[in-house]
Amino acid sequence: MEKFENYNQCIKFLFGLERAGVKYNLKNISSLLSSLGSPEKKFKSIHIAGTNGKGSVSCAVNSILIEKGFRTGLYTSPHIKDFRERILVNGKFISKKFILNFVNKMYSEIIKTGPSFFEITTALAFEYFRFKKTDYAVIETGLGGRLDATNVIIPVVSAITTISIDHTEFLGKSIEDISAEKAGIIKKNIPVVIGNVTEVSKKVFNKFSEEKNSEIKYSEDHYKVNILKSTETGFTFDVKSKLRNYKNLFIPVAGRYQTYNIRTCITILDTLCEKENIKINEKEIRAGYKNLKVNSKFFGRFELVSKNPKIVIDVSHNLQGIENIKENLKNFKYKNIIIIFGMMNDKQYKESISELFKLNAKYLIFTKPKYKRSADPQDLLDSVPHKKSGFVTKKNVREANDFYKTVYSKDDILLVTGSFFLVSDFLKLKDYKNIFSQDNFSRKKQHQNIVR
């Protein structure tokens, strides 16, 4: 007998599993997949971990493989607007019908096993990729690597993008510890590509790759990326190596940090081609980057979502990501910056706020996305290194946005950053672009909760 009659009931049930918290082991996912007949063994995969950049690299690899003509799966997290963003095949969302049928079929097993939200979502993705007969599935880890639910696959290529302090309650408090957890995705005799990491991390990765007899490739040794022209909507770049020279490629993302992700992505593809005896040419790479948003539903990475007024959304959710903001803003023309900021309470929000403080924002609006781990706005305000005018607390994103509309002036820029969940709440505001029309801006100043 079916437990759920429609998709909305099913999704509500899945999100309810988040109450179980993170389960950092492979016991539940192994049980779930075994009951499904081990779908993870029915398709080839590329496995990508890292503190930051893993989503960008995963989406780029996926997009280029689509342009090559492969049927590809993409599994990323978290989503921004729609749960189905997490699971794509050839750039299309997983169907609502498949999700409903899967959860109804697995309901008894879910109740018996007690998996987390991410564990059952991972099983769902792997079953869908098997069902759709994907040639390659690009799999992004959720948390860490060694005991992440995705780490049951044996990929064709593994990759680690960057390492910084994050999720210390699970991964450890030092770069060495976190690197070791990420290195857990390195498999015996499977090549691994490493992105932009420190010498400390390199020592850890070299040790693990030697133990696993895994060929290790540092992308910085293989490719150089040179930005030719930057705009508010992306940049044009060249990619060079000893053997290749791709000119005037375009990526629809403004952040200069994407240069690290680009060279990691292309090194992954080179490694894949060597192993699988396939060829990916410049035309396919060019199209893959140009069509990144279409093929991989890639957005939210320092993305200009409104030109008048100028609004940028950015899902940077840890210190390393926030540190990139100052450099990224060099691509934009504006007079003053207003920031809506919210972050999870288990992140380095004090250090992140210190970075934002350096931007001399006209207003820094602290708020709280609708998520259980969100830091309280007052705690964020209390973390400001030196109090001055322009610091505001608002209890939710709608109130933060309403306040912004009262203090906006022509030529200002709004930056919404600090969390996937914050950006999601902002984009859920009805007609968020249209409500920023000039007629809707009140010049009435609001003084409540402003630090003077």
Query: Is the pLDDT at 279 greater than 90, yes or no?
Result: yes
Q: How does DSSP assign 146-176, residue by residue?
A: TT-TTTT---SEEEEEE--S--HHHH-SSHH
Mean pLDDT, residues 57-62: 98
- pLDDT at position 445, please? 40
Mean pLDDT, residues 288-312: 94
Which of 326, 319, 330 is CA-nearest to residue 353? Answer: 319
- C-alpha 282/C-alpha 272 separation (Å) is 15
- pLDDT at position 13, please? 95
Domain ranges of the chain: 7-296, 303-451
Which of 411, 412, 414, 408 is CA-nearest to residue 443? Answer: 408
Strand order in the sheet with 363-366: 303-307, 310-314, 413-417, 337-341, 363-366, 391-393, 450-451
- pLDDT at position 450, please? 42
Amino acid sitting at position 324: N
Q: How many angstroms separate the first and last alpha carbons of the chain?
A: 62
Is the separation of the CB atoms in 324 and 260 below 8 Å? Answer: no
pLDDT tens track for 388-413: 779 999 999 999 999 999 999 999 99
> Taking the model in full, what pTM does it have?
0.90
- C-alpha 13/C-alpha 224 separation (Å) is 46
Query: Is the pLDDT at 172 greater than 80, yes or no?
Result: no
Per cent of the chain over pLDDT 70 is 91
- C-alpha 44/C-alpha 47 separation (Å) is 10
Task: Give strand ranges (E) for 59-154.
Answer: 72-75, 87-89, 92-93, 136-140
Q: Which residues, at least 6 apart from 176, have a Cβ–Cβ distance to it below 8 Å?
A: 200, 201, 204
- pLDDT at position 352, please? 92
- Alpha-helical regions (H) of 277-419: 282-290, 292-296, 319-323, 325-328, 349-357, 377-382, 397-407
**Cα separation values, 227 from 127, 244, 255, 260, 291, Å:** 40, 16, 11, 12, 19
- pLDDT at position 348, please? 82
User: Which pair of tokens denotes residue 384?
Assistant: 């400001």
Query: Is the pLDDT at 1 greater than 70, yes or no?
Result: no
Name the residue with higher pLDDT: 220 or 257. 220
Is the separation of the CB atoms in 297 and 94 below 8 Å? Answer: no
Query: At 9, which helix (H) or strand (E)?
Result: helix 7-16
State the SS3 of 203-262.
HHHHHHHHHCCCCEEEHHHCCEEEEEEEECCEEEEEEECCCCEEEEEEECCCCCCHHHHH
| Mean of pLDDT over the chain | 90
Give the model's confidence band at 343: pLDDT under 50 very low, under 70 low, under 90 confident, else very high. Answer: very high
Is the separation of the CB atoms in 393 and 378 below 8 Å? Answer: yes
- pLDDT at position 19, please? 65
Could you give the angle at the alpha carbon of 436 between the alpha carbons of 435 and 440, nearest 5°?
75
- C-alpha 195/C-alpha 247 separation (Å) is 22
- pLDDT at position 174, please? 84
On the 0-12 / 13-18 / 19+ scale of CB atoms within 10 A, 429 is middle
| Domain pair 7-296 / 303-451, same fold | no
On the 0-12 / 13-18 / 19+ scale of CB atoms within 10 A, 383 is middle
Place domain 7-296 in its CATH homologous superfamily.
Mur-like, catalytic domain (3.40.1190.10)
**Cα separation values, 427 from 82, 85, 220, 304, Å:** 11, 14, 36, 12
* Least reliable range by pLDDT among 56-60, 67-71, 346-350: 346-350
Query: Is the pLDDT at 350 greater than 70, yes or no?
Result: yes
CATH fold label, 303-451: Protein-Tyrosine Phosphatase; Chain A (3.90.190)
Task: Give strand ranges (E) for 351-439.
Answer: 363-366, 391-393, 413-417
Residue 25: how many CA atoms within 13 Å on its side-chain side? 6
- C-alpha 152/C-alpha 441 separation (Å) is 52
